[in-house]
Chain A
């Protein structure tokens, strides 16, 4: 039973980060109908920014803020400098461009910082607190939960309660009509990229200290898990991303703990198939609203 509790909490704390990253993917998908394969590489780039800023100033939190700011800027830059010029008639084109960005970003990071692992600091202790003899969450895990929670609530607030959120949703669902109603659709798209990339940067800052360290490829595996989470939840649904992220985190933890870590990829595939064969649009797919 102790082990079950331990694996559950451990899975949830990882899942929270997957959820944040999946959320970033969902944001861009909703805004631009692009699966941003460069999300992981972009997040790593911002984590390097944090590393440099922290190293220069000696403050974790300055680095943290720098990463988020860099995330927003990088997202906007990718949209304005690259994606804007891609022919979107075939959905494959943006995918390939994103893969090209991955190669480019990772190569540039490798040139600047070297293909070495750099330490990734955690702002809080990662030692688990013990409750009734069972090791539960660490302060860092709680920080991660809180950060992801703030992001989820914040995004929900932006999208449902603010004018800019309404504009962004309208621009995503009906770009032509939105323009007629005075919405700067291109600007909203850029803003969507910036927000998504900012959330991705946050997820990167949260997950990299729990992994092998800072490396140009540090987010490769996280990307695969988070993409799975987003697909399981339904790419159009932010709540789906959160649920999908937690589900994938739990699944990986249980399978590693009870069956062996080599079986985790298989478990992920089984989860994907089980969900998608029943609901081809993910768990939280909108009720077959328009099938035209």
Chain B
């Protein structure tokens, strides 16, 4: 066989291989049903998501999608939404944007999902925004606090979920302003939009010159001693952290090593006490007094009816996996999506679901308002402060709401709602 023939053969075989695998999957993959709406039949709604289930970034996050799925299974077991059961396809992208490209296309083009729900990560999800837009796929409740999701003109089908990092920064800074006036404030942030947006929020409230020392870290360098050392040298009394959990623990641990004990104020992303305590192990008491922010019920608040509901769902449909903040988050996303499906009505289309989200007015487990409207695609617009006391993280004070601009930080006074008796929202 001359080499060129062999190479040609190799090409041909490769193509044939792909073609056959396509033919195999072509029949079972699509099943678009009778209606023209992708992923929706009379009995089923297929939605998908991309999550890091493996790799360095998967810690904690890998529990979110299974929790959402468990909630859907709970709903399905109780008759589904308008007679349709929800199938949730979870794709692992390992927090690698290149993988996200592949798996989201697989979800949309091959699995023909109705919508992408709660895709996780700023760099990963940014890469598929244009693709989802050009395929008119609803892109709901992105799991990241980036401000990129709130661009109704550019990405009409994309909606956020988390409070954005600027809102967080403003609420944390507001606490410094009112409860810790006159203290020297310093800031440690991740070297990306997370840290940047958060710092912008802090400086919005405290003024541009108020932060004495600003440091950044990169996730590829786990030694934060130089940064913490600089804080100590600058005499910081309050340190605001825009950090992921691992680096919150590192910062707190390193500070203790250096005999530096400031008041910590931590962004929601990096403030989950069980996660931090687990990581610090015996050094967990260092977290005492740490102030954080959150907008969903505390997983340890067993008196909360939402926690009771989610614990039950977790037990019945999630193999009784360890119950933590990520579980609550995943189920809250599931609850909101079911609310939206109910609101979109029996005649489900991609347009109707987007219209339903834009109508706004959703109330669920969240402590702060969801801001959805025609012109606002950001998620939760506020948070409530938490404090670790006696090894237990609990809310204190009122919930706050604000915007990502120069609006004031206001108390949010609406009373929290309780879940419906059967735990499933109804069409309102």
Contact = CB atoms under 8 A, between A and B. Distances in A.
Do A and B share a direct contact in the complex (Cβ within 8 angstroms)? yes
Interface of A: 2-3, 6-7, 10, 14, 107, 110, 114-121, 126-128, 130, 135, 138, 210-213, 215, 217, 220-221, 252-253, 256-257, 260-262, 264-265
Output the residue of A114, A135, A213, A252 with the most chain B CB within 10 A: A213
B257 A110 contact: no
A2 B230 CA distance: 11
A161 to B, nearest CB: 36
B136 to A, nearest CB: 34
Contacts of B53: 115
B55 A217 contact: yes
Interface of B: 53-56, 58-60, 62, 191, 216-218, 220-227, 229-230, 232-233, 245-247, 249-250, 253, 256-259, 275, 278-283
Nearest to B256: A127
A212 to B, nearest CB: 4
Given A119-B278, A126-B257, A252 B56 contact: no
Nearest to B56: A217
Contacts of A210: 222-223
Contact of B253 (A117, A126, A130): A126
Contacts of A127: 256-257, 259
Contacts of A253: 223, 225-226
> Sorted from nearest, which 8 A-B pairs have the closest CB atoms?
A119-B281, A257-B226, A212-B246, A256-B226, A217-B56, A115-B58, A213-B279, A211-B222
Contacts of A265: 220
Contacts of B245: 117
B216 A215 contact: no
Given A138-B257, A212-B250, A261-B226, A119 B282 contact: yes
A257 B229 contact: yes
Given A128-B257, A128-B259, A210-B223, 13 more contacts: A3-B229, A6-B229, A10-B225, A116-B59, A126-B256, A128-B258, A135-B229, A213-B278, A215-B56, A215-B59, A253-B223, A253-B225, A264-B218
Contacts of A116: 59-60, 62, 278
B217 A261 contact: yes
Contacts of A7: 226, 229
B222 A221 contact: yes
Contacts of B217: 261
A215 B245 CA distance: 13
B280 A119 contact: yes
Contact of A119 (B224, B233, B279): B279
9 contacts: A121-B281, A126-B256, A127-B259, A138-B257, A217-B55, A220-B56, A252-B221, A252-B223, A261-B224
A119 B285 CA distance: 14
Contacts of A110: 54
B62 A262 contact: no
Contacts of A260: 216
A118 B246 CA distance: 11
A257 B249 CA distance: 20
B60 to A, nearest CB: 7
Output the residue of B216, B218, B226, B282 with the most chain A CB within 10 A: B226
A128 B222 CA distance: 18
Contacts of A257: 226, 229-230
B95 to A, nearest CB: 11
Nearest to A127: B257
Nearest to A207: B222
